[in-house]
Every structure is written in C-alpha cells, then in structure tokens.
Amino acid sequence: MQAKAIIISGNGTNCETETAYACKLAGFEVVDIVHISKLLSGEIRLDDYHFLNLAGGFLDGDDLGAAKAGVNRFLHARLENSQDKIEDQLLKFISDGKLILGICNGFQLMVKLGLLPGFKNNYTKQKTTLTFNDSGRFENRWVYLKANPDSPCIFTKNIHSIYLPVRHGEGKFVTDSNETLEKIKSKQHISLQYCEEDCLEPSMKYPYNPNGSVDAIAGICDESGLLFGLMPHPEAYLHYTNHPHWTRKSLPEEGAGLKLFKNAFSYIKKHG
C-alpha cells in the first residue's frame, strides 16, 4: 500500500511546500499539494488519501479572525453539481480512522470547525478557540515544548520534548468554560505544552509561553489521537540548518520536527 498525503493550499496558506517536503522526507509515496478549489469542484476527493494536512498561513488574511472565513468555506460551500460540502468528506475521513494534522492556521481551522477536542466523537461543536496573544503582538520565536507521555496522540509518540518555532498573532488557546478545560485535561487531550528550557514543567511565563495559552497548551488531540493540532511549526525544522543556533551547536542532521511526520507515516503503514 502506498501511503498518500494531501496538503490543502489556497486562500492564504503559505506553508504547504514545507509541509509537503516533510511528508516526502517521512516516507510518504504520494504527496499532493491540492488547491481547495479542486475539492470544491469534485476533481479531488479526500477519500483517496490517508493523511490530511491543514498547513499554516493566513486563511483569507485572517480578516474575520484567524481561519474564521476558512471555517465558513468548509461548512457552507457546496461541491459543484452536488448538495455535499467539504465538511461531509471531512467527517467521513475521520470516521474511516484517517489522520489529520493542523499546524498554526490549520490548528485554528480545526478548533473553529469543532474537530478538536472532539469530545465523544462530536466533531462539529466548537468548544475552544485560539485568540490574540497576551503580548498584543505577532510572535516569531522558537519555543521549548514538553510532550505529554499519557496523551494518545500518535504524532508525539516517543517524543519527550521538542524545540520548534512559532509565528502567530492569535495563538492563545482558551476554552468556552472551566468544565471544557477540565475535560481536556482529564481525557489527556493535551499533547504539547510550552515550557522553559529545562522542559520539566509547563510554563505560563513569557516568552516561554509566547501567547498566554491556558495551562500552557501548545497542541491538543482528539480522544483517538489521530487528529492533532498545534501552534508551533514542525515543518519548519526538518534539517539542522533550520535551527537558529546551527552554526554554534552540534546538532543531528535531521530536524526534530520531522519526527511528527514519521510517526504519521509509521502509523499508516502499520494500520493502513
């Protein structure tokens, strides 16, 4: 079986090339960057792929808030000559047990669609959002992240900590209630948290936590661990020369961000 990855582009995404390259390096035999118009026309269907990537960028300029216009496109735009919507394909993709990764703007899209946290397999009700950074500015910096060993997330499997860049103005993770936050914590939806350099404990201190996210949350998954979204950019650290200190430190040739994509590939090869 060939493992097939699709990366959605268009309407403001700007990280699709790097994300596609990460999939290729991870081992995916088929990697397609597909403009969303091809999904709307019916020329391309999600059914033909195993791994959906919602890449970073600025969907529709974030003019209505991060990814908000993109959400409306998924929910309301009808496919050509059909009553179906992209949302219908998306929900079937999930029910078939396939993988979805949302990075930065893609994470914003997932939470506003309701795909995450996806309590009790309800992938249509929004319970969380990503809003303006506490700093009141766009944050472009590298951050330390601690992985939750108890999370079912297949993407962070065998990762203890990781160093990745963030690039966002609306990255503060918040929930609609304390009850939702407690559910997220109790069900181990939290996959990655911002931390200080020692990576021992999650941190609410700026700039280690660059946006003020509650509980220092940088990434969450659904209960199955097959849907995962995060604000940092793993596709931006695929080779040691991507690291900001590559001329001063002895680093492995492979960038740490590639591990997330390799975990996705391994899962698909094992489970089909």
Enumerate residues 6+ apart whose C-beta is below 8 A from 30. 2, 3, 4, 5, 49
CA-to-CA separations, 252 to 98, 106, 164, 226, 245, in angstroms, rounded: 31, 28, 15, 28, 12
Cross-strand pairs, 168: 139
Interacting residues of 80 by C-beta distance below 8 A, sequence separation 6+:
40, 41, 42
CA angle 177, 113, 35 (to 5 degrees): 155
* Annotation says 201 is catalytic: no
Specify whether 104 is catalytic.
yes
**Is there a catalytic annotation at residue 235?**
yes
214 contact partners, CB below 8 Å, separation of at least 6:
173, 174, 175, 181
CB 109 within 8 A of CB 102: yes
Choice among 50, 168, 233, 243 that is catalytic: 233
Rg of the chain over CA atoms, in angstroms?
Answer: 17
Active-site entry in 16, 221, 235, 243? 235
Going by C-alpha positions, the residue among 12, 5, 39, 25 that lies closest to residue 255 is 25
Give the number of other Cβ atoms within 10 Å of residue 58's Cβ: 19
Q: Which one of the listed residues 15, 23, 104, 195 is annotated catalytic?
A: 104
Q: Which residues are catalytic?
A: 104, 233, 235
